[in-house]
């Protein structure tokens, strides 16, 4: 499998080089030159396959010969080594719980897969050893990515990780997850927004002087090794879906749009899905685009579903690429809406009181978006992706439900650890200075 840049100004590369590069030299995102179509009998008999086999069959065409089969099977097995249950909430709505991994968030899948791929490439690359450059994984986070990447890469030999996060704009649990590990994990607390963090990361990737001295790659969902494995849990959801003759509508809480893009990719590959809903908070760039066909990035605004506070979602260009920038085809598959903080709180409270099911603020955005869609399409049933454990946002959730959220033991222990971060202004020169000091 070869990957081209969405800006069409860089050479094609294989999976290994796309993973190592992170972003293409022309500042575009890597995209597979073809979308593999899975055998029809594989989909029809999906219930008879193990999750490990499903994930391997999904990802193998994208990896190609870059990783040997035995090694890729090991990476896949370690990536999905936790439950991903589909839980019934109402007769029409099911929740796919993606928070049973080590950092209680959906990004554990992508981060675990990418860290193991990158670890393999670093330790089996004669070129990297010959250059003797320090390998640094650079990531901007609006919340969950940071913790997942920190956990996935912790103590990986030969790799340093630098995580940029907006000061005061991630939850207290999220902050502890990305700032308390130490060793090869370095947290930069940026006085700015997530978009500032993301822009700083993009700028250093194109800095020629810096790249002569360091080998930089990305662990954001712009990296194909982070983005592509997110397809796995859409297949796992369908495996658990009882009504195979009536495919689900899937609502995805959406910020940077990597997650829903992976779902659409899975659908194009053959996975039955009736429709996708990109559920956004007040950052309504995509909902506005779906109404006007005008893509107008804005400065991100802070909400209680902070991991989705993105004013210029990087991965939306990949969604446009899937549909060859044909809006009429995109609209058949995807709709999008914006949910306010007040509506989010109301949904969180209502679902907990009436159904006994506790959502996190992001899941609540997705739930209401799905509920609104099903009101207009009463014959359909759907799945909401519950992307994080409510305890990660206990400071938002507890006042809404009037109860304490039970804290898992692992989180209890992490909350007691001391935060280790370096505060910097949102200036790319300060980031460059820090990277060269490692």
**Catalytic positions, please?**
107
- Beta-carbon count within 10 A of 316 CB: 22
CA-to-CA dists, residue 104 to 143, 356, 410, angstroms = 12, 20, 10
Determine contact, residues 235/266, Cβ cutoff 8 Å. Answer: yes
Q: How far is residue 116's CA from residue 152's CA, in Å, rounded to a whole number? A: 8
Q: In what order do the strands lie in the sheet with 2-5?
A: 13-14, 2-5, 30-32
Residue 432 phi/psi, 5° resolution?
Answer: -60, -45
Determine contact, residues 295/353, Cβ cutoff 8 Å. Answer: no
């Amino acid at each position: 499998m070869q990957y081209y840049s969405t800006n069409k100004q860089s050479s094609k590369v294989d999976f290994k080089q796309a993973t190592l590069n992170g972003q293409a030299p022309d500042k575009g995102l890597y995209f597979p030159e073809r979308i593999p179509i899975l055998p029809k009998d594989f989909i029809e008999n999906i219930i008879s396959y193990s999750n490990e086999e499903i994930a391997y069959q999904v990802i193998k065409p994208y990896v190609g010969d870059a990783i040997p089969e035995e090694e890729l099977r090991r990476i896949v097995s370690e990536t999905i080594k936790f439950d991903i249950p589909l839980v019934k909430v109402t007769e029409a709505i099911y929740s796919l719980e993606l928070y049973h991994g080590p950092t209680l968030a959906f990004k554990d899948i992508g981060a675990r897969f990418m860290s193991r791929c990158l670890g393999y490439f670093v330790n089996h690359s004669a070129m990297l050893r010959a250059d003797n450059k320090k390998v640094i994984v650079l990531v901007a986070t609006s919340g969950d990515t940071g913790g997942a990447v920190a956990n996935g890469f912790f103590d990986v030999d030969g790799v340093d990780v630098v995580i940029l996060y907006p000061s005061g704009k991630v939850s207290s649990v999220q902050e502890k997850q990305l700032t308390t590990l130490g060793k090869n994990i370095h947290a930069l607390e940026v006085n700015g927004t997530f978009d500032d963090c993301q822009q700083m990361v993009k700028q250093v990737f194109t800095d020629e002087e810096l790249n002569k001295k360091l080998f930089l790659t990305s662990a954001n969902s712009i990296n194909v090794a982070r983005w592509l494995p997110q397809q796995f849990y859409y297949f796992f959801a369908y495996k658990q879906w009882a009504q195979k003759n009536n495919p689900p509508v899937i609502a995805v809480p959406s910020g940077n749009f990597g997650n829903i893009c992976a779902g659409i990719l899975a659908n194009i590959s053959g996975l039955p899905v009736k429709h996708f809903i990109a559920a956004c908070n007040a950052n309504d760039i995509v909902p506005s685009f779906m109404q006007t066909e005008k893509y107008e990035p804005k400065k991100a605004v802070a909400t209680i579903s902070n991991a989705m506070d993105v004013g210029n979602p990087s991965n939306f260009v990949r969604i446009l690429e899937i549909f060859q920038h044909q809006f009429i085809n995109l609209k058949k598959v995807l709709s999008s809406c914006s949910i306010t903080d007040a509506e989010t709180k109301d949904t969180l409270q209502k679902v907990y009181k009436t159904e006994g099911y506790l959502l996190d603020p992001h899941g609540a955005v997705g739930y209401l978006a799905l509920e609104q869609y099903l009101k207009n399409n009463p014959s359909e049933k759907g799945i909401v992706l519950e992307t994080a454990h409510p305890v990660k946002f206990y400071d938002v959730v507890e006042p809404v439900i009037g109860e304490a959220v039970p804290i898992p033991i692992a989180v209890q222990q992490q909350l007691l650890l001391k935060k280790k971060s370096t505060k910097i202004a949102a200036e790319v020169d300060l980031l460059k200075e820090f990277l060269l000091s490692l």
